Structure 1
Amino acid sequence: MTPLYPRLRQRRSRFGALAAGLAVTVAGTSLLALVAASSAQAATPLRTLAEAQGRYFGTALTVADLSNTGETTIANAQFDMVTPGNEMKWDTTEPSSGRFNFGPGDQIASYAASHNMRVRGHNLVWHAQLPSWVSNLPANQVQGAMDAHITTEVNHYKGKIYAWDVVNEPFNGDGSFVNDAFYKAMGSNYFAEALRTAHAADPDAKLYINDYNIEGQNAKSNALYNLAKSLLSQGVPLGGIGFESHFIVGQVPSDFRANMQRFADLGLDVAVTELDDRMQLPASSSGLQQQATDYGNITKDCLAVSRCVGVSQWGVDDANSWIDGTFPGYGAATMYDRNFQPKPAYNSTVTALGGSSTTTPPPSGGGALHAVGAGKCLDVPNSSTTAGTQLQIWDCNGQANQSWTRTSSGQLTVFSGSSQLCMDAYNNQTSPGTKVEVWSCNGGANQQWSVNSNGTVTSTQSGLCLDVTGASTANGALAELWTCNGGSNQQWTLS
């Protein structure tokens, strides 16, 4: 990974209206109740499970996220720690010398307090998102500016911050120091100066150095380890190390646990601070399962290290993650999909924390899939059993070509025995307008569907909604995937 990412700076605003409207019955059980239970909340939320283990489970939010009800519904239920995405960084809090702006950060802190969450302050000293006036200072003025900034900001939030990322991402990949304004002016002495200044302003806050690509034992993590030992030997109030943990599926270092343990053995807390686990798009079923394995193992690694205090995911859901806009061709990096539905990674995390995973997707069962706007049923034309037949809507008739079964693996099947076919997004395509067809069941991600509590049926692979083309109500109108928009032609009931 590279440091070229804007930390939740450019995020698409996407509202997931959690409106009622799905009245589905599967084998006599309300699917609405099942889906609602498995979407934003588990029977036991992550925060509760983590707290029972003496840990926390957190997320990152920006001010814009606070008005996104899809995100806050999940955050309120699941997380007990909040990291501000941008609102406490230097370019926001002190954009010009001596002129402070704490309004955005105050909104995050107020939200956290009102939802019984703690706050990880992020961050005080970082070479990125640093106003140009700091970088342009004469070298003999940098320490004074740094000390004043830290003192003012930490004093402002005194008593409201659990921990501060005092120094953020100070190392290059080879273990050398980033040659930023602070290092140029003070050399490596700026670490001790920053930490002591923050401690003087708020002695109760835990003080961290936070970095990425330090999860395994390598040149970068070795350099940080040696720095931490040196600081502690000088009596510097370093309290913890933050492992950002921006992973690619299947590439979590096998020595992550051992690496955290060696820092913990120095007497430091350790934390997973910015977890996500990206994969190439479109997401595949195997990718989602590997992501679940990764999330479960990361959680277990934290639990196995007594001084690992918690895990924070960087963001809430795939639609609002920074990954898509930063790593072209990659995404699907969180525990929640683009429609705020939990993914296999959510269930593996719940299990790792000692809970019982939710049933996602709901149990087997089914019936006719009614198009609410048209008052008709999703239909395989002429009862065709030919793979590639595009679906349509037609007057409901109770026949086998209109009877859909929701399987425990997330498929929607039609017919039975050797004739069984699955609802399929044509050719693994993920763009609006992709036709929805029947195809031989193969377990692919383009055959995985979420039946949601807001009345939509979405492709797990693309996040797009099952849609009646042109909002037509006529017999023979074709089914396709389209951007979710709340229209009646995207509302379905399965009964």
Structure 2
Amino acid sequence: MTSGIRTPRTPRRRLGALTATVAVVAATALAVLSATPAQAASPLRSLAEGKGKYFGTALTDGDLNISGEMAIANTQFDMVTPGNEMKWDTTEPSNGSYNFGPGDQIVNWAQAHNARVRGHNLVWHSQLPNWVSSLPLTQVQGVMESHITTEATHYKGKVYAWDVINEPFNEDGSLRQDVFYKAMGSGYLADAIRTAHTADPNAKLYINDYNIEGENAKSNALYTLAQQMLSQGVPLGGIGLEAHFIEGQLPSSMLANMQRFADLGLDVAITELDDRIQLPTSSATLQQQGNDYATVVNDCLAVTRCVGVSQWGVDDGHSWIPGTFPGYGAATMYDSNYQPKPAYNATVNALSAGGTTTGGTTTTGGTTSAGGTTGGTGGNCHVTYTKNEWAGGFTADVVVANTGTTSVNGWTLGFSFPGDQKVTNGWNATVTQSGNTVKATNVSYDSTIAPGGTVDFGFQGTWTSNDTSPGSFTLNGTACS
């Protein structure tokens, strides 16, 4: 099947409108949380963390004041994407005048609820102030770099990942002819990512787009771009698949598509999931929506480098769908009264089933090593090292699992290169090298590894004659293999 969102899009200016009074909202939310034992006992965030993933949502600063919506968000999600608060028209409405207050509110919520933040976004043709589009083309690069540097520096250490570039492609795989392309050609893409990396070297840097969930002209063009960037040493870290679907119309090639990006050494993430239904709903369409949600979650679980799933918004009453796609709605896991729908139950079941996942293979114990992945077990830790190599360069993804019964609070992973590799930059950890010895130390947002939990970091490097993967690791001085 083809993806169900081949429709011209309007900016997601707001996630939705309030559809119930605050008094009803508060009462309903309390009823939901007390009347759904599975939800209260096993939040989505806990189930996802048990699989080494996250489960997130999108919030606006206005959502923070809606008690019923936040009762769910506070419990269920461990990643948050600001709906509008970090976009250019909010953060720099006039040249050189910055406004980070709305974004700071989202970050403050995340810090108070032990959630990570996905920065969204730095460069996008939409929600772009007129003053940027009106600039002489000779000034665009300097303004773009200044904007990226200022915003990424402001949130340095507080943001897990950035959608550095948002929706750069047309449906046929060509690049949009926006002001950035007109000024710099396709080179603006690499320049934006390099600029963001300089400002915040520990953040994972993404290209995010829609209608790239399956294999098609658009995702093929992005795949080619990603290959080129990595071969040129551009610190691209991941691909965001927005996943705005129509009920029953998920692309059949989604899993294969996610895996091919992962095989490049990139993270993949489902960043804006919703699954709209033609109204009115029926038991059949709601059940199909549940099947769709389960498919998305299971595909993510099957790809080691799929880091997690984020739903775009919390509930149907605050979704952007009805205002953008007339006749459609009911696109999330929760209805307008904050009641969980079949999609919620299907998601819980998908996250609860099976064992852990490694490289697309589900395992319940032992070590699976394939496709350039080396694993080490022993003590109370397990390390999986996955390498993507090209002539003279490589990227490595490292997943550290806590196999013990107590939390690891603050960690340093140590290993030695068997070859002549040199680390050039890293993300999600501070990576240093002395001779062949490498140490990776946690950054602030991933300092704790819960029992059964994982952390994921990576780095890029160069090599001359030998890029053999390391075979042994220590965690805080104790051997993992």
TM-score, normalization: structure 1?
Answer: 0.68
**Deviation digits for residues 291-311 of structure 1 (CA, Å, limit 9, x no counterpart):** 000000100000000000000
**Deviation digits for residues 77-98 of structure 1 (CA, Å, limit 9, x no counterpart):** 0000000000000000000000
Cα distance in structure 2, aligned partners of 1:4 and 1:162: 27
Q: Which residue of 2 aligns with 1:164?
A: 162
Q: Which residue of 2 aligns with 1:347?
A: 345
Q: Which residue of 1 aligns with 2:128?
A: 130
Instruction: In structure 2, list runs of 5 or more residues that go unmatched.
Output: 355-481
Cα distance in structure 2, aligned partners of 1:151 and 1:73: 35
1:11 matched to 2:16? The reply is: yes
Alignment partner of 1:82: what SS?
A: strand
Q: Which residue of 238, 252, 255 maps to 1:254?
A: 252
Q: Which residue of 117, 120, 140 maps to 1:119?
A: 117
**Deviation digits for residues 322-356 of structure 1 (CA, Å, limit 9, x no counterpart):** 00000000000000001000000000000000169
1:58-77 correspondence runs (5 A): 58-77=56-75
Aligned amino acid, residue 343 of structure 1? K
Cα distance in structure 1, aligned partners of 2:101 and 2:35: 35
Q: CA deviation at 1:4?
A: 1.8
Q: Which residue of 22, 47, 56 maps to 1:49?
A: 47
Aligned amino acid, residue 321 of structure 1? S
Cα distance in structure 1, aligned partners of 2:206 and 2:136: 27
Q: Which residue of 1 aligns with 2:148?
A: 150
Cα distance in structure 1, aligned partners of 2:46 and 2:8: 33
Q: CA deviation at 1:118?
A: 0.4
Cα distance in structure 1, aligned partners of 2:335 and 2:28: 20
Cα distance in structure 2, aligned partners of 1:287 and 1:35: 25
Cα distance in structure 2, aligned partners of 1:318 and 1:269: 29
Q: Which residue of 241, 244, 248 maps to 1:243?
A: 241
Aligned amino acid, residue 134 of structure 2? N
Cα distance in structure 2, aligned partners of 1:228 and 1:110: 33
Task: Check the 8 A contact 2:15/2:83 in 1, yes or no.
Answer: no
Cα distance in structure 1, aligned partners of 2:353 and 2:184: 49
Cα distance in structure 1, aligned partners of 2:159 and 2:32: 37
Distance 1:36 1:222, change over 3 A: same
Cα distance in structure 2, aligned partners of 1:177 and 1:89: 20
Task: Check the 8 A contact 2:164/2:206 in 1, yes or no.
Answer: yes
Q: Which residue of 2 aligns with 1:100?
A: 98
1:191 matched to 2:196? The reply is: no
Q: CA deviation at 1:37?
A: 3.4
Cα distance in structure 2, aligned partners of 1:53 and 1:198: 30
Alignment partner of 2:157: what SS?
A: coil
Cα distance in structure 2, aligned partners of 1:40 and 1:82: 22
Q: Which residue of 2 aligns with 1:216?
A: 214
Cα distance in structure 2, aligned partners of 1:205 and 1:41: 31
Aligned amino acid, residue 14 of structure 2? R
Cα distance in structure 1, aligned partners of 2:330 and 2:37: 16
Task: Check the 8 A contact 1:166/1:209 in 2, yes or no.
Answer: yes
Q: CA deviation at 1:284?
A: 1.0
Cα distance in structure 2, aligned partners of 1:342 and 1:10: 18
Alignment partner of 1:60: what SS?
A: strand
Q: Which residue of 2 aligns with 1:265?
A: 263
Task: Check the 8 A contact 2:25/2:337 in 1, yes or no.
Answer: no
Task: Check the 8 A contact 1:8/1:62 in 2, yes or no.
Answer: no
Aligned amino acid, residue 339 of structure 1? N
Cα distance in structure 2, aligned partners of 1:228 and 1:5: 26
Q: Which residue of 1 aligns with 2:478?
A: none
Cα distance in structure 1, aligned partners of 2:181 and 2:187: 8
Q: CA deviation at 1:42?
A: 3.7
Q: Which residue of 1 aligns with 2:290?
A: 292
**Deviation digits for residues 189-226 of structure 1 (CA, Å, limit 9, x no counterpart):** 00110000000000000000000000010000000000
Aligned amino acid, residue 183 of structure 2? A
Task: Check the 8 A contact 2:276/2:329 in 1, yes or no.
Answer: yes
Structure showing greater Rg: 1
Q: CA deviation at 1:235?
A: 0.1
Aligned amino acid, residue 127 of structure 2? Q
Task: Check the 8 A contact 2:173/2:219 in 1, yes or no.
Answer: yes
Q: Which residue of 319, 323, 326 maps to 1:325?
A: 323
Alignment partner of 1:203: what SS?
A: coil
Which structure shows the bigger proportion of residues in strand conformation? 2
Cα distance in structure 2, aligned partners of 1:321 and 1:20: 21
Q: CA deviation at 1:7?
A: 1.4
Aligned length: 347
Task: Check the 8 A contact 2:28/2:68 in 1, yes or no.
Answer: no
Distance 1:33 1:221, change over 3 A: closer
Cα distance in structure 2, aligned partners of 1:301 and 1:54: 14
1:368-387 correspondence runs (5 A): none
Aligned amino acid, residue 12 of structure 1? A
Q: CA deviation at 1:21?
A: 9.7
Instruction: In structure 1, list runs of 5 or more residues that go unmatched.
Output: 23-31, 357-495
Distance 1:35 1:313, change over 3 A: closer
Q: CA deviation at 1:6?
A: 2.3
TM-score, normalization: structure 2?
Answer: 0.70
1:34-45 correspondence runs (5 A): 36-38=34-36, 41-45=39-43
Cα distance in structure 2, aligned partners of 1:10 and 1:241: 23
Distance 1:341 1:20, change over 3 A: closer
Q: CA deviation at 1:34?
A: 8.4
Q: CA deviation at 1:233?
A: 0.5
Cα distance in structure 2, aligned partners of 1:86 and 1:145: 20
Q: CA deviation at 1:270?
A: 0.1
Deviates more, 1:40-49 or 1:268-277: 40-49
Distance 1:40 1:61, change over 3 A: farther
Cα distance in structure 2, aligned partners of 1:21 and 1:227: 47
Cα distance in structure 2, aligned partners of 1:273 and 1:21: 28
Q: Which residue of 2 aligns with 1:139?
A: 137
Distance 1:211 1:339, change over 3 A: same
Percent sequence identity is 71
Q: CA deviation at 1:124?
A: 0.2
**Deviation digits for residues 228-247 of structure 1 (CA, Å, limit 9, x no counterpart):** 00000000000000000000
Task: Check the 8 A contact 2:15/2:313 in 1, yes or no.
Answer: no
Alignment partner of 1:298: what SS?
A: helix
Cα distance in structure 1, aligned partners of 2:195 and 2:118: 18
